[in-house]
Amino acid sequence: MRTSADYLLPRTTGEARRLQLQSELLREATETLLGALDISESPSCIDIGCGTGDVMLLMAQKYGDRARIVGLDLDTGPATARFAAAASAPRFELVQRDLFSATPLPGAPFGLTFSRYLLHHAPDPVAALTRMWELTADGGTLAVLDLDQRGTTTYPLWPPYEQIESWIRALYVKTGIDNHIGHKLPHLFERAGIGKPDGTKVVGVIRTIAELAEFLPLLLDMIRGKLVDHAVATQHEIDRVGAELATAPQLTSTYCYRPTAVGVWKQKRA
Protein backbone atom coordinates (compact mmCIF):
# COMPACT_ATOMS: atom_id res chain seq x y z
CA MET A 1 0.00 0.00 0.00
CA ARG A 2 1.23 3.51 -0.80
CA THR A 3 1.77 5.71 2.26
CA SER A 4 2.59 9.39 2.79
CA ALA A 5 6.24 8.37 3.09
CA ASP A 6 6.21 7.19 -0.57
CA TYR A 7 5.99 10.79 -1.84
CA LEU A 8 6.94 10.68 -5.53
CA LEU A 9 9.19 13.71 -5.86
CA PRO A 10 12.75 14.13 -4.56
CA ARG A 11 13.81 16.49 -1.72
CA THR A 12 16.39 18.53 -3.64
CA THR A 13 17.10 22.19 -4.37
CA GLY A 14 16.12 21.47 -8.00
CA GLU A 15 12.68 20.33 -6.84
CA ALA A 16 12.33 23.40 -4.59
CA ARG A 17 13.14 25.61 -7.61
CA ARG A 18 10.64 23.67 -9.77
CA LEU A 19 7.93 24.17 -7.12
CA GLN A 20 8.68 27.88 -7.04
CA LEU A 21 8.37 28.13 -10.85
CA GLN A 22 5.19 26.04 -10.67
CA SER A 23 3.89 28.46 -8.03
CA GLU A 24 4.14 31.25 -10.58
CA LEU A 25 2.11 29.14 -13.03
CA LEU A 26 -0.49 28.52 -10.28
CA ARG A 27 -0.56 32.05 -8.94
CA GLU A 28 -3.63 33.20 -10.88
CA ALA A 29 -5.60 30.07 -9.92
CA THR A 30 -4.58 30.45 -6.26
CA GLU A 31 -5.48 34.14 -6.13
CA THR A 32 -8.78 33.43 -7.90
CA LEU A 33 -9.65 30.76 -5.35
CA LEU A 34 -8.60 32.89 -2.35
CA GLY A 35 -10.56 35.80 -3.86
CA ALA A 36 -13.74 33.70 -4.14
CA LEU A 37 -13.80 32.74 -0.46
CA ASP A 38 -16.26 34.57 1.73
CA ILE A 39 -13.80 35.43 4.49
CA SER A 40 -14.17 38.95 5.86
CA GLU A 41 -11.68 39.11 8.73
CA SER A 42 -8.08 37.92 9.00
CA PRO A 43 -8.52 34.23 9.65
CA SER A 44 -6.11 31.78 11.24
CA CYS A 45 -4.88 29.90 8.18
CA ILE A 46 -3.14 26.62 7.53
CA ASP A 47 -1.60 25.52 4.23
CA ILE A 48 -1.41 21.73 4.16
CA GLY A 49 1.56 20.50 2.11
CA CYS A 50 3.02 24.02 2.01
CA GLY A 51 6.13 23.06 -0.02
CA THR A 52 8.12 26.25 -0.62
CA GLY A 53 5.56 28.37 1.29
CA ASP A 54 4.43 30.34 -1.76
CA VAL A 55 0.72 29.97 -0.86
CA MET A 56 1.51 31.24 2.66
CA LEU A 57 3.02 34.38 1.09
CA LEU A 58 -0.19 34.89 -0.96
CA MET A 59 -2.27 34.40 2.21
CA ALA A 60 -0.19 37.05 3.98
CA GLN A 61 -0.75 39.47 1.08
CA LYS A 62 -4.48 38.86 1.16
CA TYR A 63 -5.18 38.74 4.88
CA GLY A 64 -2.57 41.18 6.15
CA ASP A 65 -0.48 41.39 9.28
CA ARG A 66 -3.06 40.15 11.76
CA ALA A 67 -3.54 36.74 10.15
CA ARG A 68 -1.90 33.73 11.77
CA ILE A 69 -0.44 31.58 8.99
CA VAL A 70 0.75 28.03 9.58
CA GLY A 71 2.39 25.78 6.98
CA LEU A 72 2.41 22.01 7.44
CA ASP A 73 4.52 19.65 5.38
CA LEU A 74 6.39 16.36 5.59
CA ASP A 75 9.44 18.53 4.78
CA THR A 76 9.51 22.19 5.82
CA GLY A 77 13.08 22.74 4.52
CA PRO A 78 12.04 24.46 1.23
CA ALA A 79 9.71 26.92 3.06
CA THR A 80 12.38 27.67 5.68
CA ALA A 81 14.85 28.48 2.90
CA ARG A 82 12.30 30.60 1.01
CA PHE A 83 11.29 32.61 4.09
CA ALA A 84 14.91 33.33 4.94
CA ALA A 85 14.71 35.79 2.02
CA ALA A 86 11.21 37.19 2.72
CA ALA A 87 10.68 40.28 4.91
CA SER A 88 7.41 39.09 6.46
CA ALA A 89 8.69 35.62 7.31
CA PRO A 90 8.91 35.72 11.14
CA ARG A 91 5.16 35.55 11.66
CA PHE A 92 4.83 32.34 9.66
CA GLU A 93 4.79 29.10 11.60
CA LEU A 94 6.04 25.88 10.05
CA VAL A 95 5.15 22.43 11.31
CA GLN A 96 7.08 19.47 9.93
CA ARG A 97 4.59 16.66 10.15
CA ASP A 98 2.41 14.22 8.25
CA LEU A 99 -1.15 15.48 7.74
CA PHE A 100 -2.28 12.21 9.29
CA SER A 101 -0.16 12.54 12.44
CA ALA A 102 -2.22 11.98 15.60
CA THR A 103 -0.21 14.64 17.51
CA PRO A 104 -2.48 17.64 18.24
CA LEU A 105 -1.70 20.56 15.95
CA PRO A 106 -1.06 23.88 17.76
CA GLY A 107 -3.69 26.47 16.82
CA ALA A 108 -6.20 23.98 15.39
CA PRO A 109 -8.96 24.27 14.27
CA PHE A 110 -8.37 26.96 11.62
CA GLY A 111 -10.54 29.61 9.99
CA LEU A 112 -9.06 28.68 6.61
CA THR A 113 -7.65 25.26 5.75
CA PHE A 114 -6.04 25.40 2.31
CA SER A 115 -4.22 22.79 0.29
CA ARG A 116 -2.70 23.07 -3.17
CA TYR A 117 -1.44 20.14 -5.26
CA LEU A 118 -1.15 17.75 -2.31
CA LEU A 119 -4.28 15.72 -2.87
CA HIS A 120 -3.15 14.00 -6.10
CA HIS A 121 -0.19 12.68 -4.09
CA ALA A 122 -2.37 11.41 -1.24
CA PRO A 123 -2.72 7.61 -1.15
CA ASP A 124 -6.31 8.08 0.08
CA PRO A 125 -7.66 11.50 -1.01
CA VAL A 126 -10.99 11.04 0.82
CA ALA A 127 -9.13 10.36 4.09
CA ALA A 128 -6.95 13.43 3.44
CA LEU A 129 -10.04 15.63 2.87
CA THR A 130 -11.68 14.22 6.01
CA ARG A 131 -8.56 15.13 8.01
CA MET A 132 -8.48 18.65 6.49
CA TRP A 133 -12.16 19.12 7.40
CA GLU A 134 -11.37 18.10 11.00
CA LEU A 135 -8.74 20.85 11.08
CA THR A 136 -11.32 23.45 9.93
CA ALA A 137 -13.16 25.44 12.62
CA ASP A 138 -16.95 25.83 12.74
CA GLY A 139 -17.65 28.81 10.48
CA GLY A 140 -14.25 28.30 8.80
CA THR A 141 -13.57 27.28 5.20
CA LEU A 142 -11.77 24.38 3.52
CA ALA A 143 -10.37 25.26 0.09
CA VAL A 144 -8.50 22.80 -2.12
CA LEU A 145 -6.78 23.37 -5.45
CA ASP A 146 -5.64 20.46 -7.59
CA LEU A 147 -4.87 19.52 -11.16
CA ASP A 148 -6.64 18.01 -14.11
CA GLN A 149 -3.90 16.99 -16.51
CA ARG A 150 -6.12 15.87 -19.41
CA GLY A 151 -6.15 19.08 -21.44
CA THR A 152 -2.45 19.83 -21.38
CA THR A 153 -0.88 20.16 -24.83
CA THR A 154 1.06 22.47 -27.14
CA TYR A 155 0.20 24.37 -30.29
CA PRO A 156 1.82 23.98 -32.71
CA LEU A 157 2.40 20.51 -31.35
CA TRP A 158 5.88 20.28 -29.78
CA PRO A 159 6.91 16.61 -29.42
CA PRO A 160 9.28 16.96 -26.41
CA TYR A 161 6.49 18.45 -24.26
CA GLU A 162 3.96 15.87 -25.44
CA GLN A 163 6.48 13.11 -24.65
CA ILE A 164 7.13 14.35 -21.10
CA GLU A 165 3.41 14.66 -20.34
CA SER A 166 2.75 11.22 -21.80
CA TRP A 167 5.50 9.77 -19.55
CA ILE A 168 3.99 11.59 -16.54
CA ARG A 169 0.57 10.11 -17.36
CA ALA A 170 2.09 6.61 -17.53
CA LEU A 171 4.07 7.14 -14.32
CA TYR A 172 0.98 8.36 -12.48
CA VAL A 173 -0.95 5.25 -13.56
CA LYS A 174 1.89 3.03 -12.28
CA THR A 175 2.23 4.88 -8.96
CA GLY A 176 -1.50 5.25 -8.26
CA ILE A 177 -1.59 9.04 -8.62
CA ASP A 178 -4.85 10.44 -9.94
CA ASN A 179 -4.13 13.08 -12.57
CA HIS A 180 -7.85 13.84 -13.10
CA ILE A 181 -8.46 14.58 -9.44
CA GLY A 182 -9.30 18.26 -10.03
CA HIS A 183 -12.55 17.35 -11.79
CA LYS A 184 -13.37 14.81 -9.08
CA LEU A 185 -12.94 17.19 -6.11
CA PRO A 186 -16.64 18.11 -5.68
CA HIS A 187 -17.59 14.44 -5.57
CA LEU A 188 -14.70 13.66 -3.20
CA PHE A 189 -15.89 16.47 -0.88
CA GLU A 190 -19.24 14.67 -0.68
CA ARG A 191 -17.58 11.28 -0.10
CA ALA A 192 -15.52 12.80 2.74
CA GLY A 193 -18.74 13.93 4.47
CA ILE A 194 -17.98 17.60 3.79
CA GLY A 195 -21.03 17.95 1.57
CA LYS A 196 -21.57 19.68 -1.76
CA PRO A 197 -19.01 22.46 -2.28
CA ASP A 198 -20.09 26.09 -1.99
CA GLY A 199 -18.29 26.82 -5.25
CA THR A 200 -15.68 25.84 -7.83
CA LYS A 201 -13.17 27.83 -9.89
CA VAL A 202 -11.43 26.37 -12.93
CA VAL A 203 -8.36 28.21 -14.23
CA GLY A 204 -6.30 27.33 -17.29
CA VAL A 205 -2.87 28.77 -18.02
CA ILE A 206 -1.21 29.29 -21.40
CA ARG A 207 2.52 30.08 -21.64
CA THR A 208 4.98 29.98 -24.50
CA ILE A 209 7.47 27.14 -24.44
CA ALA A 210 10.16 29.84 -24.16
CA GLU A 211 8.57 30.94 -20.86
CA LEU A 212 8.77 27.33 -19.63
CA ALA A 213 12.42 26.94 -20.67
CA GLU A 214 13.71 26.69 -17.07
CA PHE A 215 10.71 24.74 -15.74
CA LEU A 216 10.64 21.86 -18.25
CA PRO A 217 14.19 20.49 -17.76
CA LEU A 218 13.67 20.66 -13.97
CA LEU A 219 10.40 18.77 -14.34
CA LEU A 220 12.09 16.07 -16.40
CA ASP A 221 15.01 15.82 -13.96
CA MET A 222 12.70 15.48 -10.95
CA ILE A 223 10.90 12.47 -12.43
CA ARG A 224 13.88 10.93 -14.25
CA GLY A 225 14.64 8.32 -11.55
CA LYS A 226 11.00 7.27 -11.19
CA LEU A 227 10.52 6.97 -14.97
CA VAL A 228 13.43 4.53 -15.10
CA ASP A 229 12.47 2.66 -11.89
CA HIS A 230 8.93 2.09 -13.16
CA ALA A 231 10.11 1.16 -16.70
CA VAL A 232 8.22 4.07 -18.28
CA ALA A 233 11.31 5.33 -20.14
CA THR A 234 15.00 4.48 -20.44
CA GLN A 235 17.84 6.82 -19.46
CA HIS A 236 18.70 7.04 -23.16
CA GLU A 237 15.16 8.15 -24.13
CA ILE A 238 15.11 10.69 -21.28
CA ASP A 239 18.51 12.08 -22.32
CA ARG A 240 17.28 12.44 -25.92
CA VAL A 241 14.20 14.42 -24.87
CA GLY A 242 16.32 16.40 -22.39
CA ALA A 243 18.61 17.44 -25.26
CA GLU A 244 15.60 18.50 -27.35
CA LEU A 245 14.50 20.84 -24.52
CA ALA A 246 17.57 22.98 -25.28
CA THR A 247 15.64 24.67 -28.11
CA ALA A 248 12.85 25.80 -25.72
CA PRO A 249 14.14 29.40 -25.28
CA GLN A 250 13.68 29.99 -29.04
CA LEU A 251 10.04 28.81 -29.09
CA THR A 252 8.37 32.13 -28.46
CA SER A 253 5.35 31.32 -30.66
CA THR A 254 4.65 27.76 -29.50
CA TYR A 255 1.97 27.88 -26.81
CA CYS A 256 1.54 25.41 -24.00
CA TYR A 257 -1.79 24.82 -22.27
CA ARG A 258 -0.73 23.63 -18.82
CA PRO A 259 -2.80 21.18 -16.72
CA THR A 260 -5.99 22.89 -15.56
CA ALA A 261 -6.17 23.96 -11.90
CA VAL A 262 -9.48 23.26 -10.17
CA GLY A 263 -10.38 25.05 -6.93
CA VAL A 264 -13.20 23.85 -4.67
CA TRP A 265 -14.33 25.19 -1.30
CA LYS A 266 -16.84 24.72 1.47
CA GLN A 267 -17.65 26.70 4.60
CA LYS A 268 -18.32 24.65 7.73
CA ARG A 269 -21.65 25.77 9.09
CA ALA A 270 -21.31 26.76 12.75
Ligand X SMILES: C[S@@+](CC[C@H](N)C(=O)[O-])C[C@H]1O[C@@H](n2cnc3c(N)ncnc32)[C@H](O)[C@@H]1O
Residues 152-191 that bind ligand X (CB under 6 A): none
Is 144 a residue that touches ligand X (CB under 6 A)? no
Give the β-pairing of 44-48 and 153-155.
unpaired
Comparison of 4 and 153: residue with beta carbon closer to ligand X: 4
Residues 10-29 that bind ligand X (CB under 6 A): 19, 23
Q: Considering only residues 18, 121, 226, 258, which one is a binding residue for ligand X as defined by CB under 6 A?
A: 121
Is 198 a residue that touches ligand X (CB under 6 A)? no
What is the maximum alpha-carbon separation in the chain? 57
3 state SS of 147: strand
| Contact residues for 84 (Cβ-Cβ < 8 A; gap 6+) | none
Is 125 a residue that touches ligand X (CB under 6 A)? no
Q: Considering only residues 18, 62, 82, 116, which one is a binding residue for ligand X as defined by CB under 6 A?
A: 116
* Chain residue whose CB lies nearest ligand X: 51
Comparison of 133 and 158: residue with beta carbon closer to ligand X: 133
Q: How far apart are CA 99 and CA 51, in angstroms?
A: 13
**Torsions phi, psi of 96, nearest 5?**
-90, 105
Q: Considering only residues 2, 21, 32, 98, which one is a binding residue for ligand X as defined by CB under 6 A?
A: 98
Q: Considering only residues 43, 51, 125, 160, which one is a binding residue for ligand X as defined by CB under 6 A?
A: 51
Q: Which of 38, 44, 48 is nearest to 4 (CA)?
A: 48
User: How many residues does this entry show for the chain?
Assistant: 270
Q: How far apart are CA 260 and CA 182, in angstroms?
A: 8
Is 75 a residue that touches ligand X (CB under 6 A)? yes
**Torsions phi, psi of 173, nearest 5?**
-60, -45
Q: Which of 48, 52, 50, 47 is nearest to 16 (CA)?
A: 52
Q: Considering only residues 29, 39, 56, 99, which one is a binding residue for ligand X as defined by CB under 6 A?
A: 99
Q: Which of 247, 97, 228 is nearest to 174 (CA)?
A: 228
Least distance to ligand X, CB of residue 236, Å = 28
Is 62 a residue that touches ligand X (CB under 6 A)? no
Q: Considering only residues 18, 34, 39, 49, which one is a binding residue for ligand X as defined by CB under 6 A?
A: 49
Q: Considering only residues 18, 56, 73, 232, which one is a binding residue for ligand X as defined by CB under 6 A?
A: 73
Comparison of 121 and 266: residue with beta carbon closer to ligand X: 121
- Is residue 199 within a helix (H) or strand (E), and if so which, with residue range? strand 199-203
Comparison of 52 and 149: residue with beta carbon closer to ligand X: 52
Least distance to ligand X, CB of residue 114, Å = 9
Q: Which of 46, 48, 47 is nearest to 99 (CA)?
A: 48
Chain positions contacting ligand X, by CB under 6 A: 4, 7, 19, 23, 49-52, 54-55, 72-75, 98-100, 116-118, 121
